[in-house]
Amino acid sequence: MEPSSKPATSSAIASDSFHHLDVGTVLNQLGVSLDQGLTDAEVARRQERFGLNRMTRRRGTPAWMKFLLQFHQPLVYLLLIATLVSLALREWVDATVIFAVILINSIVGYLQESKAEKEIESLNKMVAEETTVLRGGIRRGVSAESLVPGDVVLLQGGDRVPADLRLCTLKNLQIEEAALTGESVPAGKMIDALPLDTTLADRRNLAFGGTLVTSGQAEGVVVVTGDATETGRIARLMSETIDLSTPLTRNIAQLSRWLMFAILALSAAIFALGIWRGEPVAEVFMSTVALAVGAIPEGLPAAVTIVLAIGVSRMARRSAVIRKLPAVETLGSTSIICSDKTGTLTQNQMTVVQIYVADQMIDVTGAGYEPVGQFEQNGSKVEPADHPALTEVLRAGLLCNESSLYEEEGRWNIQGDPTEAALLVAAHKAGLHEELTSCAWPRRDKIPFESEYMYQAVLHEAPGDRQVVYIVGAMERLLGRCTAAIDALGGESPVDMPRIEAAAEAMAENGLRVLMLGKVEVETDQSQLEHEDVAANLTFLGLQGMIDPPRPEVIAAIADCRKAGIQVKMITGDHVGTARSIARMIGLGDAQLQSLTGRDLEQIPAEDLPVVAEKTTVFARVAPEQKLRLVEALQSRGHVVAMTGDGVNDAPALKQADIGIAMGITGTDVAKGAAAMVLTDDNFATIKAAVEEGRGVFDNLVKFIVWTLPTNIGEAGVLFVAILLATELPVLPVQILWINMASSVLLGLMLVFEPHERDLMLRPPRNPREPILSFPLIMRTGLVSLIILIGSFWVFDQEMRADGHTLDQARTAVINVIVMVECAYLLNCRCLTRSVFSIGLFTNMYVLYGIAAMIGAQLLMTYLPLMQKLFHTAPLDLGSWLRILLVTVVAFIAVEFEKWVRFHKQVAAT
């Protein structure tokens, strides 16, 4: 074909239109001929215009900026204020300790959350390094980076496609596109033009960069390179998606802002009051900063980090590796899981599950490539050795086959085409093996599969000095050539075409890919096989129906997710019939479940998509950008969305989702790089365990916050009232710092080891719009804060009235009141809705160890001379301890009674 007089470039054709044009038009537009290719001079000119065939590396956030951003949080600002306050008070040790907490939090956050942007590099690795082209009429090997639009590329089995190509000539070409389109089997290719609205997965006349040629040969012309390829578009989508904040970070930020404004307002009020009274500015300032120190929860950031880190450790033991720390809790808030089908819900291993032979439908058990299973009819076992027709149809699939099956490290794998492998595994289950069969049935010739004919055939010598041709392919191409059918005893009977077609239709309605198998005997001296040999007189052997089966554990996992109030949606690039069938198998719905295709999605206005996406269960033939749109649409409805997947086509949606979950074994590097969590066992059921762990993490965080806030509010209240009444401060800033830091470590952090409550996975997902603390918990926080306030002043007053008691002794008693109430309240907080006795006092021994350690620390602070000097404390007598114990018991009983009343009100209401 002659090139045009004025060569065009790929910009002359819309990047998504090449499949719509015939080969001649594409070549003419690109200014190239198939027999010559481009000249070196033309290649150089086009390289100047289009650049090299590689994806642009996006500039990421510098490492130093990522580290500094760890400080950009309201709660960290509060801690910095606490550090400055301590420095102003010349409390160097306290300032150092608080700043050390900030620094450790920032380092841990940086190491956990900072991602080296390896996704784009992984996409670059998918593109072939070298390829074969035709330039100046000469066939040569060149670097894939040097390709330009218009280059003529030669492909053969085993090659990785170097750029997006419009196929021009081909023979038996099949390309593995699962990572890009989600299809379970290699795509057969063609060269004819297709309708303009053909979806990506159905563009059979294109070969996409990064995909793998499994068989056949082809010539294609490069139409786009680098960032303009489908793989490049995915890279761009990934770079444009924003890493969203998580429900936890949003809630903590909201709580931190509320605390910061409350503390600043209270401090300003105290400062203004002191100035209005005419008190010395320095004294007023010191009282104000003491109030601020008392109100700031210094232990909260450390607790959040440690709770999440422990959650990461627990989840790693359950085969879920967390790449981003807050993702632990996000799983607990997840309301929708959008799951890819191939390799996630299914095994990505084509398996024969039904065989129609001799007017009988036989089920085949077992799943995947492991050659273990049996044959059943109506629940009764069928022995292939006693069923000549079944043996014959299995032998046909075994002989008409180029694939191989092998075991490696306990896993069964295949070499070759997955469809052929399914036929091979089915034969192995019947005890038929290619090694033994090939000796008794040596092959003479073969007709390879071609999309033009839709079948392949083999010529074999058969026992008894016979020659037999076995054929396998599309039933609609082969059934009309049959003149007889095999019967149950291996003989021949008339072929009942309507019955066979009905059986095939029933299998297809169940989402099975159906292949017909047949045979014909030829002359014994024939050594070559031609298409004419199988054009007529075939004997119908049977139908084998196969599917990429669901993972066995998925059904239970989805049922558990539904109990937990989590919707599961399937988003796949595969055909809608197959997707619906798998959805029904795994319990996503019945025959009435709603499904949409990518083409349907294109017709839905953007404003209507969120509602439609929420109601639909299965999305099929979906392009990568449509997966991204679906995730965004569901998020716009207020859902916390988790997206699972393993292919390159999943990566943009994985990155956009509130939490992206990649498969560790079958997942591509690109998918893993975009995900927040990686399942090391590729087990969908692990997600259920991760959700449970995430809910447990949030539960324990809430328990810590509910426990720590009354202390800070109570301390601030004590100081505020004392300043308001112009009396002696019942507790000093340095003593407050001791209480806050020591109790956070020895008491509060023990809650992170709290076991999960029994009803954890029976609750609906937490509404991410709701604040961390519900109204009942806020009221409880106020109750305990009031007990600390009143109890502290009562003990302080009693100590000051006692004969011979000093101000230091009174303050020491107040410190111990606050700490002992914290110990009692820690037991209350082990269960926020029921009595602590209902879950057992000894189910978390760390809490008891922490209380013992805190009491020991308080005794040292009270009686050890060095501690007395550092913290201005003094020894207490028995009377003081009895008063402290009384306040502690009152606090414990009051909270338990409040929980009892509220719990029984809820029971009565339901």
Question: Which residues participate in catalysis according to the annotation?
Answer: 340
893: number of Cβ within 10 Å: 12
Q: What is the C-alpha to C-alpha distance for residues 119 and 144, in angstroms, rounded to an integer?
A: 20
Give, to the nearest 10 degrees, the angle between helix 733-746 and helix 74-88: 140
> Coil, strand or helix: which one is 484?
strand
Q: What is the DSSP string of 651-707?
A: HHHHHHSSEEEEETTT--HHHHHH-SEEETT--THHHHHHHHHHHHHHHHHHHHHHH
Task: Enumerate long-range contacts of 501-504, CB under 8 Å, 24 or more apart.
Answer: 501/475, 503/356, 503/361, 503/543, 504/356, 504/475, 504/543
Q: What's the number of CA atoms in the CB half-sphere (13 Å) around residue 33? A: 11
Q: What is the C-alpha to C-alpha distance for residues 215 and 419, in angstroms, rounded to an integer?
A: 13
Q: Label each residue of 542-557 as H, E or C.
A: EEEEEECCECCCHHHH
CA 736 to chain centroid, in Å, comes to 43
Q: What is the DSSP string of 104-172?
A: HHHHHHHHHH-----HHHHHHHHS-SEEEEEETTEEEEEEGGG--TT-EEEEETTPBP-SEEEEEEEEE
Q: How far apart are the first and last CA of the chain?
A: 80
Amino acid symbol at 696 = G
Give, to the nearest 10 degrees, the angle between helix 92-113 and helix 300-317: 40
Length of the chain: 910
- Nearest Cα to Cα of residue 153 among 130, 181, 179: 130
Q: What is the C-alpha to C-alpha distance for residues 783 and 828, in angstroms, rounded to an integer?
A: 13
Report residue 114 as tokens: 């900072």
Q: What is the C-alpha to C-alpha distance for residues 187 and 175, in angstroms, rounded to an integer?
A: 5
Amino acid symbol at 114 = S
The dihedral formed by the CA atoms of 747, 750, 752 and 756, expressed in degrees to the nearest 10: -120
> Coil, strand or helix: which one is 322?
strand
Q: Widest CA span of the chain, in angstroms?
A: 124
> Coil, strand or helix: which one is 889?
helix
> Coil, strand or helix: which one is 513?
strand
Q: What is the C-alpha to C-alpha distance for residues 703 and 899, in angstroms, rounded to an integer?
A: 14
Q: What is the DSSP string of 330-381?
A: HHHH--EEEE-IIIIIB-S--EEEEEEETTEEEEE---TT-----EEETTEE
Q: What is the C-alpha to C-alpha distance for residues 99 and 91, in angstroms, rounded to an integer?
A: 12
Q: With b meaning 16 or more CB within 10 Å and e meaning fewer, what string describes 238-248?
A: bbebeebebbb
Amino acid symbol at 701 = L
Strands 659-663 and 641-645: parallel
Report residue 419 as tokens: 């469809």
Report residue 129 as tokens: 């390094």
Query: Where would I find the H helices in 616-650?
Result: 624-636
Q: What is the C-alpha to C-alpha distance for residues 721 and 389, in angstroms, rounded to an integer?
A: 94
Report residue 170 as tokens: 């081909």
